Structure 1
Amino acid sequence: MTTLHVKFFAGTTALLFSGLVTAAPIFWTDWTGGNVATGAGFQGVGTITTTTATVTVNYTNANGIGFYQASGGNDYYANGSFGSGGRNDSISPYTSSAVDNSPTGTDIVALSRAGSQTLSFSESIANPVFAFVSLNGNGYAFLNQDFNILSVGGEDGNACGYWGCGGVTKVVTDLGGGDFLYELNSSNIGGSEPHGVIQFTGAFSTLVWESASNEYWNGFTVGVQGTAVEVFPPSNSVPEPGTLALAGLGLASLIGRRQRKI
């Protein structure tokens, strides 16, 4: 089993991936209502309104969450300590050469439980971006789906986030049998409070990932460049909607296999 650790250098990463995804306004999720789960766990619903479509977003977490902020509350996407720097997208931890605008409003899903969770979209979306807040004691793992680290607070001219600064690493682990695990973890370099954005390239209808710990709390929201139909012209081959989980092979079991091997 081979493990590769990738340190994030904002300028270098932006250069490497500038040809893959160009700068664009992001349509962020407007989370609404409260917990709509009919059984145990948590389910939240939101909408993404693009230039031509309204996409329904469903988030499910069978293990429950820390809290859900769908209207008002603290602006955890503001710059600087406790948001003292306000909103300034020119130096925001959530903007980059690929993301023009920080998350809309104050909507956030705050996590506090280890385990699997799912985002599903009512139609295929393009090049989703994932904004993370205070990823210090937790980490996220994606099976067989690479991602690009676009921005991090405190690096490459970006302001620190609401809770401070801190770097992140991407850890790529070869699980064998053609399976790879892509993990986003705090590097504890430059601080212990990472805030930033990662991006997946292509068309997706579902995002599935694993939280590594029960740390309270770390939060996220999700945005898109548009629907797959909007971003990938019909004259070209539209990528098949993907999923960040391998059918029939649980992410948790693969992580367990990795840990046993270690």
Structure 2
Amino acid sequence: MENLKDEQQNHHQPVKIDLSGSSFWAKKGLKSLEANGARVDVYWDFRQAKFSNFPEPSSGFYVSLVSQNATILTIGDLKNEALKRTKKNPSATEAALVSKQEHVHGKRVFYTRTAFGGGESRQENEVVIETSLSGPSDPEMWITVDGVPAIRIMNLNWRFRGNEVVTVSDGVSLEIFWDVHDWLFETSGSSSGLFVFKPKAGFESKSLSFNGRYGDGEGEDHDVEDDDSSPKYCHVLYAVKV
């Protein structure tokens, strides 16, 4: 999810980018689609993309959205190449990453990397979720951030939903929400646990509203209450047990 500022109305507008492997089967391409009755052209080039420890490329790429003869959004470091290809004026403002959603699959351990700070100088963080749901003992779950134990939830049958605030290794105050109800009580096929990692300015706890619904992230509403003083980035993780 990127955040764009509308210069005429002086406010920010969110833009959701949903990338699937089938859409970007070629390293360079163009795809046209319709949004709110307007045509949107998506240009991309990953031929020179370089990767570090993040799942997304770190350099050597661009993705550009063009609509109504103007550039809406360009991400990546090859902005000049994108301008030459689209032949449109550059976007009036820089985009800022405000949220990210991903699905990971596993049996007992789920692993991801993210950057809670965001920005160009972001510090990557390693998150590991480990579970013990079978056996004679009560179900438990552990969450570590950068190799440091952050949360241990015992009696998971009773604490399958909750949230805690922790401090990670780079000094960021991080609120972690979880809902693992389906891990424990869903019997038909694979089941998903929902985790939200949200940096905070302080230690005041917020509540997580699931609107009485839970699913795999398609069309579901999982709202995290926020205020203007809190950092805007949050990482949404669906941990799918297989």
Say which structure is richer in helix.
1
Question: Does the pair score TM above 0.5?
Answer: no
Q: TM-score, normalised by structure 2?
A: 0.28
Say which structure is richer in strand.
2
